[in-house]
Structures are given as structure tokens and as C-alpha cells.
Amino acid sequence: MQPISHVAGKAIPFGRKNVDTDVIIPAHWLKTITREGLGKGAFEAVKKEPGNVFTDETWAGAPILVAGDNFGCGSSREHAAWALLDMGVTCVIAPSFSDIFSGNAFKNGILTVALPQEAIDRLMDVAREHPIDVDLDTQTVTTPFQDRFTFEIDAFRKHCLLNGLDEVGLTMAQGDAIGSYEAKAKDALPFLAQATVAA
Amino acid sequence: MTTAPRTLYQKIWDAHVVDTRDDGTCLIYIDRHIVHEVTSPQAFESLRAAGRPVRRPDLTLAVPDHNLPTTARRDSAGNRIPIADPQSAQQLEALERNAPAFGIRYIGDADPEQGIVHVIGPEQGFSLPGATIVCGDSHTACNGGLGALAFGIGTSEVEHVLATQTLLLKQSKTFEVRVEGTLGAGVTPKDVILHVIGVIGTAGGTGYVIEYTGNVFREMSVEGRLTVSNMSIEAGARAGLVAPDETTFEYVKGRPYAPKGEDWDKAVAWWKSLATDEGATYDKSVFIRAEDIQPTVTWGTSPEDTSGIGGVVPAPEDFADASKRDAVKHSLEYMGLTPGTRLTDVEVQNIFIGSCTNSRIEDIRAAAEVLKGRRKAGNVKWAIVVPGSGLVKAQAEAEGLDKIIMDAGLEWREPGCSACLAMNPDKVPAGERCASTSNRNFTGRQGPGSRTHLMSPAMAAAAAVTGKLTDVRDLAPVI
């Protein structure tokens, strides 16, 4: 995973509410066995709408996406995060995110920034013509007009994002703790300790 | 261990904590992991690249469901019928290769137990009350109907669980959805959950785990509870729960992977201790009167866009929130609907009865009961009934339901995800409507340009008969 500390540049002023992962990447794009190349399918239906922000050259390759409430709801497909990355988006700013999407984004080094609706409204305005600056270290979003919005982020996630840490490797280092849980659970909850293979 | 009163969710959580970090993040042990072909190839690839084994293949089960065509999979000589779409075939081959390579039990495309992940988990006794259950699929929430803490995960988390049998999680808040009273005739578990989502909205449960309480859920069958909990994710909640009780134990007992003998007795004793304690509090609660729930359908492109079947298509101005007004405007354009139109005047061209929400034997029975002695309307071009598993299919055929369904002019298919999502040949054509028992009415969900109306199996069957959205209670009796 690539470390991420600072994202600055153009921001796609999408703003729509309840954008589900079927909208971010429709199911027929999920038939892949790799993580690459999904940017082409990103927001496929939205791209057909006249005047949409995704086919407008102004925001081609923009690293930031500004969206509405409940971004990434619906299906758990991590392809949504891969599609955003493939488009070049490494930061999404919205009033709220679905739980599964924000986890998937984090695991792919995409920063999700939750800000109140008023801040989103302001960023939507600014993004039409100007860049936005997101700094993870200081947890702030700034504009060229002295706007300054601070955001919250889980300390562990921040640490992992800043250092590009591999979570699987980190947890595997706790193999002993997992082993002792398994030994304890085998006594306490023996009926959960085995499934498809008889003891 | 705490002695304060705890909720069902807290009890399951506490029993699975491997480690707690300073910031409250916990390493949670995962008891059961189901893997399907769409969200696993990249996870297996990463394990292979890093030389990492699967920690507990014996707690893992693999089965294909999303890509499989629901037409015959073997010819009369028993040879595999090739899958036309090369990408679908490639994903299926990847799972078929990866599962045995990592020591995971694999249920194949033509095995009698094959079916939709969330149907076969409970059916096989692989999913158990009190267990933590994950799958790379958001409708894993379904298993919460057994009283399991079950939720969908992304592919990176699939990899994390395969490698470590754990997940790093923060505890969710708890949300009690209490439904009490008497459900009217024709009101099914699907109507209950659609109504609940209409009340709390698709973001109402974000950050929460829902516990469904009240006499309506206590009196519901396990299959009904699975239907309800399945759509917790449509209310924004990662998981739903119904406390395990005698109905649950009766359902689980004797299933292939269910505990046996002494283990069974221990399991039941523990399951009985999981119910939320008196005095335990939820972070929020909503109370719904069962009498307020009508047979319910959706009219828009969000599962919260629900109405009793007696209602009309709303207008954007009916909504207070500006962004919702905008969303409704987009929805109605996409759906080709005019505000004020009576829902029972909306014609449908396609019928889909199936999906992890509604493809169990009780669902097939409910559809067959409506279809018995009736015929599909002339304007309905495509109508399919897709059982959730090979075992559901066999049971339905033993009861003669397949014949009732086919006599009514509907097709009887092989098990799979089918037309719930446009990943296999079962799709709804652009601009056409589908009365569907699935879980999502999103833009393009059943195929580009498809228009989905969600409802119960009985309501979808009634729509098949009349060719319009229909109140199943109004069908003329079969003479």
C-alpha cells in the first residue's frame, strides 16, 4: 500500500447523496480477477448523463472526489475502491460514508474525509474552479480562500495510512494471541471450533 | 468480564475478542467464513504472492453463486456445459482452483448442495447462532436471522480473514428495531423489512448493528428472520440480529455441520444465554406497530423508496430534504414514473422470484400458493423462479411446486444469484420493469436501464398473474 499524507489538486464536484457501489462500479465490471483497469467502468451510468462531472475534461485525473451523504452504500464490492484508485482518486470527501466502503477505501490507501454538509457545500463551490488541499497529518482541508475544515480520523487508520502499513502482516505478527484465543475457545465454545472438517 | 446488563450484540462481541488496542479497536475472531467467486480471486492472489497459507481452512467454505447461469450446467452425458461469458468462466475457474489449493471445502457448480452463499450457510448448519460469520458480500447480514454476528467484508478483509481468521474492528453502536402487534393477512417478513427501511432510511443504520425485537420477530420462522436480517444492509447497518430461541434451535438441529451430541447441549445452553439482558440499553430504538405495515413495494431507485401497495407514486415536492427531492426527481425519471400514479396501475414486463432475500422453501411455497390455478398475464414477457439452493429446489420439486410454477407459465431454474444483479445471463432489459423479490432497486442493478420494484414472493407472483403491481389480497379467488 502506498503511504498517503497529503492530497492536493482538482476535486470532482459530484455532490450526489446515497451513491451506492453499484453506481461507482456496476456488477458487470466485477468479473475480473485483478485489481487494475476498473477506472473505465467507474460511474458508468452517470457518465451518460449530459453535463456530468466525470466526462468533463476539467476534472480528468483529479485526485479528490466531493460527494454527498452515505457515500458507498450497498454492496461490499472492494472494486469500488479499486475503480476510484484507477481513476486517480485517492481522497473522497463527503458528509458520511457507508461502513464497508470506508473500510475498503482505507485498506487501499484512499483517504475518506467526513465533513459537515455546510463544508461540503462550500467545497462543491470551490471545486468548480479551484484546487483543494487535504492534509492527513494535521487533519485539515483547506482552499485557496482561507477556508479551513478539520476532520476526525481513527488513530490506527491514520498511522497505517501515513506509513502505508500492510494490515495482514501486522495481524499475522499477533499469531500467538490468536493461537491462545483458539485454545481457550476450544474449551469454552467447542461447538464453534470446527466446521467443515471433523475433529 | 463485565457484569452490567448486555445486549445480544455485546455478548457475541465479548466472546470473540482476541486483543484490544488502546484506541478501542479489537482483533475479533471469525468463526465462519464463506467465500464466493467474485470477491475472492484478488485475495487468494495476494496470499499466493506473499506465500501465506489459510489459517483455518476448516472454518471456511467456498461456493460459486453470482456468475453461474441458472440454466442447466451439465448435459445429458454429465459433461459441463461451457459458460458463454469468458470472464464469468474465468472467475469460476479461479475459485475452483483456489479452494482446493488452499485446503478449503468447495461445493461445486453442479453439486446438490450448491446455492447462494447466504442460503447454504444456514441450510448446511455452517452458520450458527452466536458465531461471527463473514463473507465478501454485504448480504452476509442475512445470517443474523439465526442470532449470529454476520456481516459483509471487502476483498482485503477476505484476505485478512483467510490469513489470520480475525478482523480488526471497532464496536458498532446498537439499534433496536421493535415491531409489535399483529401482522395483517398478506403481510410477510419482506413487507416488514421494506417498511422498516422506509421508516429509518438507507443511512438510518449506518454505524449500528440492528437487533430486531418484539413479538413479530419472535413469532416469525427462521427463514422469515433471515429475510429481514438480510436487508439490514439496505438500512445502512452492517449486521442485523434476532435473538436465538427455541425456533432457532429447532431449525439448526440435525443440519450437516451443526454440533452434535454433547457439543449440541453445550451450544444450546450458551445460545440461550445470549439474549439481551433486562436493563441493557440500546444506543437508539425505533418502535413500529405491526398493524401499520401493508404489503409493500418500492417505486424508486433506493430501498427506502417504499410505499404500501395502496399508495401512489410520490412527487419530489413531497420531501422536505432538498437533496432527497433531487434524488427523487432522478429516480422518477429513471423509473419512468409520474407522480400521483396509483402503484396498482404500474405495468410490469418481468418477474424475478429468487435471491438471497427470498429463495428459501417458504418463499417458493408462498409464490406457488398464489400461482396455483392461475396463469401469467400476457404482457409479462419473462418470469423466472430461482430456488436458493439445490436442496431448496429438490424440496420444492418433492412438494410439486415446480409443476404449479411451470403450469402458471413461469420458468423454474437452477440455483444462483440470478437476476438480483446483472453478473450472469439473467437480466432485465433496459426500460422494462421487474417485480422482484431481491434486495436492491439501484440504477442498473438488474441490467443497464432496468427498472426494479422490490416486493415479497407472494406480491411478485400476484404481479405475474395480473401484469401489474398488485395487492395480493385483491386477487380474485381461483374457481
Q: Is residue B479 part of a domain?
A: no
A120 and A199 together in one domain = no
Tens-place pLDDT, residues A68-96: 999 999 999 999 999 999 999 999 999 99
Return the CATH number at A119.
3.20.19.10
Show residues of chain A in contact with B168, CB under 8 Å: 156, 167, 171
B347 and B271 together in one domain = no
Return the CATH number at B333.
3.30.499.10
A171 and A140 together in one domain = no
A67 and A123 together in one domain = yes
Mean pLDDT of B85-101: 96
A70 and A160 together in one domain = yes
Tens-place pLDDT, residues B345-397: 999 999 999 999 999 999 999 999 999 999 999 999 999 999 999 999 999 99
Residue type, B162: L
**Edge-to-edge strands, sheet with A91-94:** A11-13, A64-66, A91-94, A111-114
Tens-place pLDDT, residues A21-55: 999 999 999 999 999 999 999 999 999 999 999 99
B300 and B206 together in one domain = no
pLDDT of residue B274: 98
Which residues make Cβ contacts (< 8 Å) with residue A15, sequence separation at least 6?
Answer: A66, A67, A68, A120, A124
Do residues B159 and B196 lie in contact, with contact meaning Cβ atoms separated by under 8 Å? no
Q: Is residue B359 part of a domain?
A: yes
Nearest to A31 among B67, B154, B259 (CB): B67
pLDDT of residue B2: 55
- Report how many domains make up chain A: 2
Å between B186 CA and nearest CA of chain A: 28
Q: Is residue A198 part of a domain?
A: yes
pLDDT beyond 80 at B59:
yes
Q: Count Cβ atoms below 10 Å from residue A126 Cβ, excluding itself.
A: 17
DSSP string covering A161-175, please? Answer: HHHT--HHHHHHTTH
B438 and B309 together in one domain = yes
Å between A162 CA and nearest CA of chain B: 17
A158 and A174 together in one domain = no
Do residues A76 and B232 lie in contact, with contact meaning Cβ atoms separated by under 8 Å? no
Q: Is residue A1 part of a domain?
A: no
Q: Is residue B193 part of a domain?
A: yes
pLDDT of residue B1: 54
Q: Radius of gyration over alpha carbons of chain A, in Å?
A: 19
Which residues make Cβ contacts (< 8 Å) with residue B341, sequence separation at least 6?
Answer: B312, B313
- Please give the Cα distance from B226 to B355 (Å, whole number): 12
Name the residue range of residue B169's domain.
1-294
- Report how many domains make up chain B: 2
Q: How far is CA B424 from CA A56, B70, B83, B418, B455, in A?
A: 32, 8, 10, 6, 22
A100 and A30 together in one domain = yes
ipTM of the complex: 0.93
Name the residue range of residue A142's domain.
6-165
Q: Do A27 and B324 touch (CB under 8 A)?
A: no
Q: Is residue B416 part of a domain?
A: yes
Q: How confident is the model at residue A197 (pLDDT cuts 50, 70, 90)?
A: low
Mean pLDDT of A158-172: 91
Residue of B nearest to A196 (CA): B58
Nearest to A156 among B23, B32, B153 (CB): B23
pLDDT of residue B3: 77
B196 and B279 together in one domain = yes
Q: Is B149 in a helix, a strand, or coil?
A: strand
**Pairs of CB atoms within 8 A across A/B:** 208
A99 and A176 together in one domain = no
B326 and B258 together in one domain = no
A70 and A143 together in one domain = yes
B446 and B318 together in one domain = yes
A51 and A30 together in one domain = yes
Show residues of chain B in contact with A42, CB under 8 Å: none
Q: Which residues of B are annotated as a binding site for [4Fe-4S] cluster?
A: 356, 417, 420
- Please give the Cα distance from B242 to B228 (Å, whole number): 9
Nearest to A192 among B19, B131, B442 (CB): B131
A95 and A171 together in one domain = no
pLDDT of residue A196: 77
Do residues B252 and B146 lie in contact, with contact meaning Cβ atoms separated by under 8 Å? yes
Q: Do B163 and A156 touch (CB under 8 A)?
A: no
| For chain B, percent of residues with pLDDT exceeding 90 | 96
A65 and A16 together in one domain = yes
Show residues of chain B in contact with A169, CB under 8 Å: 50
Q: How far is CA B237 from CA B79, B269, B298, B358, in A?
A: 43, 28, 19, 19
